[in-house]
Amino acid sequence: MSERMVKIRLRRSAIGTSPRQRETLRGLGLKRIGQSVILKDSAAVRGMMRAVAHLVDTED
């Protein structure tokens, strides 16, 4: 059985964002603009994506 995965790409800089949003990006594993990560689709990851939705692009 395969688990659902979600691809997240950082599209805007974290400069000027709150420290909490910067830590959320770090928690997702995003460090540089244009960097992509593939993570398991879970409620925790969805919540983190929602918190920084204005900075990232997502693909299911």
pTM of the model: 0.90
Q: Which domain holds residue 50?
A: 5-59
**CATH code, 18:** 3.30.1390.20
Residue 3: pLDDT band by 50, 70, 90 thresholds?
Answer: confident
pLDDT of residue 1: 52
pLDDT digits (tens, 9 = 90+) for 13-24: 999 999 999 999
pLDDT of residue 60: 81
Phi, psi of 24 (to 5 degrees): -65, -45
Q: How many domains are there within the chain?
A: 1
pLDDT digits (tens, 9 = 90+) for 16-58: 999 999 999 999 999 999 999 999 999 999 999 999 999 999 9
49 touches 28 (CB < 8 A): yes
